Amino acid sequence: MPIRLVYALIALLLVVALPSLAELYTEWLWFGETGYQSVFLKTLAAKALIGAAVFVPAFLFLLGNLRIALRGFTSPYVLFPGGGDLQPIVLEPRHFGLVAILVSALLAFFLGVVASSQWLAILRFLEPTPFGQADPLFGYDVAFFVFTLPFLDIARYICFALVVLAAIGSVAAYVGGGRLSVGPEGFSIDLKARQHLLLLGAGAFALLAWGAYLDIPRLLTTPSGIVFGASFVDVNLRLYVLQGMLVVAGLGAAAAAYAAFTRANWPVAAGVGAYLLVWIGGGGAATGLQQLVVTPDEQQREAPYLVHNIAATRQAFDLDVVEERAVSGDALLTLQDIEDNAETINNVRLWDHQPLLDTFGQIQEIRTYYEFASVDNDRYVVDGEYRQTMLSSRELNSDSLPNRSWVNERLQYTHGFGVALGPVNQVTQEGLPVLFIQDLPPRSETDLAVEQPSIYFGELSNDYVLVNTGTDEFHYPEGEDNVSTRYDGTGGVEIGSLFRRLLFSLRFRSYEILVSGQLDAESRLIYHRNISDRVATIAPFLRYDADPYLVIADGRLYWMRDAYTVSDRYPYSTPVTNGINYIRNSVKIVIDAYNGTTTFYLAEPDDPIGTTLGKIFPGLLKPLDEMPETLQQHIRYPEGIFSLQTAMYSTFHMTNPSVFYNREDEWEVPVIDNEQMEPYYTIMRLPGEERAEFIQMLPFTPRGKNNLAAWMVARSDGENYGKMLVFQFPKQKLVFGPSQVVARINQDQEISPQITLWNQQGSEVIQGTLLVIPIEEALLYIRPLYLRASGGRIPELKRVVVAYQNQIVMEETLDQALNRLFAGPSDRLAPSVPTLVADAATSVPLPAAAVTVTGGLAERAQGHYSRALRAQRDGDWARYGQEIEQLGEVLEEMQDSGGNQD
C-alpha cells in the first residue's frame, strides 16, 4: 500500500509539474530567440531570491514561535475521537515537531509567494532614480513616494502578517496544551505563555508605530475632501494625530515588553487604551475641525493646498508644459484662405474607421479567411506630397478556414498578406475609398511600395504555427490556383531534438508536434505571434496603448506600439479613474511583421521610472536615436495618453485656486449623438505656424454649455513631437460648438429631408465623425455622410456636410461644398486643391487640371444640371426642383450676357 501511494504521488507530480516545466523551458527558448533572455533570467532570479529571502526568516520565526508554544505538550493530543467504524486520530508528542515544521513551511511559502509577486516594486526600490522634484510639505524627493514607500509598505505588511500568524498559532498551541483557557473561574494563562504572547504583542505595537510613521508621508497620496493630498485638516491635525499614534504605539511596545518580564498587566492595558484614544479621538477631532473651521471658510482654508494639488497634477500628467494661445474664433474666411491652407483641406479625414473597415472587409479581403482587424491613421510622403493615409493589414484568421485541420491551421495557412492603404479624403465615383496599395499580391499606384508583404505577427495572430516543414505554406490566391512559399525569416524556435518536440507537444497540448512526419530538426515553431501578447510577455511591467499601428518602411511592414510608465504614488496629484496619477509615454516599440524582431526604445530619457527600468534591465531599452530614420518619421503621439491629458486639462487648466475651487472655467469634451468625442489625427497648419503637420486634436466646451471654449492639439512631427498647445476662444464671444452644429445640420431644410428620404427608401444613413477644422483663426465643421444600401454591407461616402458660421451646405465632395461656401459667381477653388473624386476604373486621383472649375456661366449651368440629375436618381425631388430653377436663372444670365456682347 505505501508503495502504491508513492507511485500515485509521483504520477500526480508528473502530471502537475511536467506541463509547467515544459512551459518554463519553452519560454526560456523563446526569450533566447527574441534576444531578451536576460530579462527572463532577471525576472525569474528576482522572484526566486525575494521568495527565498522571505521564506527562510519567516519559516524560522514561525517555527521558533510554534516550538516555544508546543513545549507544554507532553501527552498525546486527540484530534478526532472516532466513533462507530472510524478510528480515533491521535497525535503523539513526537509528531508535534513535524507538524510545526509543516505548518511553518506552508505559511512561510505563502508569504514568500506574496513577496515574490512584488518583485518589481522591490527592484525599483533597489535602483531608484531621483525625480528632482520635492514634495511641498516634507521636502522628500518624489522618488521616495514612487520607489521607497511601496517597498516599506510591503516589508511592514509581511512583518505584521508574521506576527499575527505566529500569535494565532501560539494561541492555538497554548489552548490545546491547556496552558491558556477561559472557564467559569475566569481567564487562566501560564506564565511562560503570557510572556511569549506579550512579546508578540510588543512586536505588533512596534509595527503599528512603523505604520503610523509611513502614514505621515502617505497623507500626500490619499484624497482628503476637495484636495487630493494633505488638506488643511491633515496638515493642522491629522499629522499630529499620526505623530501621537507613533509615540503611543512605541510606548505600547515598550510597555508590553516590560509587562512580559513582570506580573503587571496595567502597562499593556494603558498602551492599548492610549492608542485607541488617540486613534478614535483624533478621527473625531478631525471631523469637528472640518465642520467647524474648514467648511464655513473652505475656499480660503484650502487655497494653499489646492495650489499644491494643481501644480502636482499638472507636473504628473505633463500639463505644465502645455502652451496656451488665444484665437479670436470669428475671423472671416475667404477663398484665398482656403487655398493658402490647401494642405489642411487636402487631408481632411472623410473616412471614419468603422465604415472604412467595413468597406475594406468587402472589397479587399479577397478570401473568407482574410480579415482586416483595424484601421490605422498615419502619414507618408506619396509621390512627393505629404499625405494622411489610412492603412489596414490583411491578416489571416484561422477560425475562418473552410477546412480546419491541424495541417491547414499550423503548417499551411501560416500568415496574412499585404495591406490596403489609401488617402483619408478621396473616393471613387461609386463612393468607395481610393486605394494607393491594394489587391493580392499588393499593387501600388504610387512610389509607396511593399516588398515583403507577409504578416506572421499581427493583431489576430494569436496561436502557434510551424514553418520550414514538409508542407509548403499558402502565400496568396492567384486565379484558380494558390501561390506557395517557404519562410526564410529569423522568427521562431527550432524544433531540434525529440526531447524538445516532446516539451513543445506538452506546452501546446498537441500530440501532432511529437508524431508528425512533416517536421524535422530545422523546422521552426513560431509562437507569441500576437503583438499585444508578445510585448507584454517580454515587458509585463509597462502599460500599453490600446492601438498598435502598422507602418511601411523600406518596403517592409512594422508594427509600432506605445508603452507608458505609470504610478499611483505621485504626491498631491489627482488620479484618473483607474488610479493612475502619473504617466509618461516613455517607450516606443517596433515589431517586424515578418521576423517578429521586437525592439524597445526609450523615448523619454528624463522619465525617472523609465530610467529605473533601464537600470533594472540593462539592454532592454535602446536610445530612440537608434531607431531607423524611416521609422522615426512615423512616430505619433498616442491617443491613450492624450485622452488622459485632455480629461485632466479640462479641469487643471485653471491654475487660480479661487477659480479652481468654484469650477468657474471648467471644460468638458463635447458629446455628440450620446457619445463623447474622441481625439482624432489630422494634418493641418496650426495658426501661427508655417507648415502643415501631423497632429492629434480634441475640442472643449464649457461644462454644461454647448459653445466651443478651446481646442487642444498634440504634435507628432520631428522636433515638435510631444509638444501640446491649447487654442482658447474669448469667453465673451459665442463660437458654435460641435453639438450645436450637429443640431443645426439635423434641422437644415435641405439636409434633414434628404436623410429622411434615404432612410425611408430602406438605405441606412451613417453620419460620420464631426471634424473641427481650424483655418487661420476661424473654424470649419465637416461631417461625412455614408450610405449603406438595403441589404448591403458596403458603406459608400455619398455626401459631405460643411458648416461655417451660420452657413451649412451639403455636396457630393468637399471641394464642391467649399465652392458653395466661399466661391463667388466667377471664383472657384484653385487647382492646388485636388478633387476628392477619383476615376472608378483606376482608383487613383484625377489630375487637378482635369477638375479645375472655371468661372464661366456655362460651367455653372453644367453644375446645376449635373446636380439635378443626381437628385433625380436619388429621388430627391425638392433638390431637383431647386437645381432646375437655378439652372434656369443661369441660362437667363447667359442670354443677357450674350445680348450685351452683341
Q: Which of 361, 342, 347 is nearest to 426 (CA)?
A: 347
Residue 370 pLDDT more than 70? yes
Share the mean pLDDT of the chain: 88
State the pLDDT at residue 731.
Answer: 86
Q: Residue 854 above 50 pLDDT? A: no
Task: Please tell me the distance from the alpha carbon of residue 593 to that of residue 207, in angstroms, as a whole number.
Answer: 53
In this prediction, residues 794-820 reach a mean pLDDT of 91
| DSSP element (H, E) containing 266 | helix 266-289
Confidence of residue 870 (pLDDT cuts 50, 70, 90): low
Q: Is the pLDDT of residue 637 over 50?
A: yes
Cα–Cα dist 449/434, whole Å:
16
Residue 900 has pLDDT above 80, yes or no: no
Q: How many helices (H) and strands (E) does the chain have?
A: 27, 40
Q: Among candidates 701, 766, 757, 748, which has minimal Cα distance to 728?
A: 701
State residue 836's pLDDT score.
40
d(CA 123, CA 46): 8
Greater confidence, 835 or 860? Answer: 860
Q: Is the pLDDT of residue 414 over 60?
A: yes
The residue that leads in pLDDT, 105 or 886, is 105
Give the range among 430-444, 565-579, 755-769 with minimum mean pLDDT.
Answer: 755-769
Q: Which helix (DSSP H) or strand (DSSP E) does residue 154 occupy?
A: helix 149-176
Residue 580 has a pLDDT of 95
Q: What mean pLDDT comes out for the span 801-807?
A: 91
Which pLDDT does position 491 carry in this prediction? 94
Of all helices (H) and strands (E), which one includes residue 804? Answer: strand 796-804
**Contact between 303 and 658 (Cβ < 8 Å):** yes
pLDDT: which is higher, 728 or 763: 728
C-alpha cell at 165: 500568524
Does position 729 have pLDDT exceeding 70, yes or no? yes
Q: What's the one-letter identity of residue 556?
A: R
- For residue 867, pLDDT over 80 is answered with no
What is the mean pLDDT of the segment spanning 826-844?
Answer: 40
**What's the CA gap between 471 and 848, in Å, rounded?**
51
The confidence band for 877, taking pLDDT boundaries of 50, 70 and 90, is low
Output phi, psi for 828, to 5 deg.
-145, 165
Nearest to 208 by CA among 248, 151, 265: 248
Residue 837 in this model has a pLDDT that exceeds 50: no
Interval 81-107 mean pLDDT: 74
pLDDT tens readout for residues 25-43:
999 999 999 999 999 999 9
Instruction: Round to whole Å and give the CA distance between 725 and 720.
Output: 11
* Amino acid present at 60: L
Average pLDDT over residues 2-31: 78
Where does the pLDDT of residue 15 fall: very low under 50, low under 70, confident under 90, or very high at 90 and above? low
pLDDT surpassing 80 at residue 563: yes
Cell of 231: 488638506
Residues in the chain: 902
Q: Could you tell me which of 802, 826, 759 has the C-alpha nearest to residue 425?
A: 802
Q: Residue 7 — very low, low, confident or very high, per pLDDT cuts 50/70/90? A: low
Cβ distance 134 to 27 under 8 Å?
no
- Residue 840 predicted with pLDDT over 50: no
b/e per residue, 611-637, with b = 16+ CB within 10 A? Answer: bbbbebbeebbeebeebeeebbbbbbb
pTM of the predicted protein model: 0.86
Phi, psi for residue 492 in degrees, rounded to 5: 95, 165
Q: How confident is the model over 691-704, as pLDDT tens digits?
A: 999 999 999 999 99
As beta bridge partners, residue 427 has 433, 837
SS in 3 state form for 467-486? ECCCCCEEEEEECCEEEEEC
Q: Which pLDDT score is estimated for 380?
A: 95
In whole angstroms, give the CA distance from residue 594 to residue 491.
8
The C-alpha cell at 466 is 510551424
Q: How far apart are CA 653 and CA 317, in angstroms?
A: 12
Predicted confidence (pLDDT) per residue in 774-784, tens digit: 998 889 999 99
Question: Where does the pLDDT of residue 823 fall: very low under 50, low under 70, confident under 90, or very high at 90 and above?
Answer: confident
Question: What's the confidence (pLDDT) of residue 853?
Answer: 33
pLDDT, mean of residues 173-195: 80
Q: Which of 47-51, 629-633, 828-832 has the lowest mean pLDDT?
A: 828-832
Whether the per-residue pLDDT at 213 is higher than 60: the answer is yes
Q: Which has the minimum average pLDDT: 423-427, 479-483, 491-495? A: 479-483
In the chain, % helix, strand, coil (3-state, to 5) comes to 45, 20, 30
Q: What's the rounded Cα separation, in Å, for the pair 549 and 559? A: 6
Compute the average pLDDT of residues 345-370. 90
What confidence tier does 873 reach under pLDDT thresholds 50, 70, 90?
low
Residue pLDDT, tens place only, 97-123:
788 899 999 999 999 999 999 999 999
Distance CA(415)–CA(475), nearest Å, equals 8
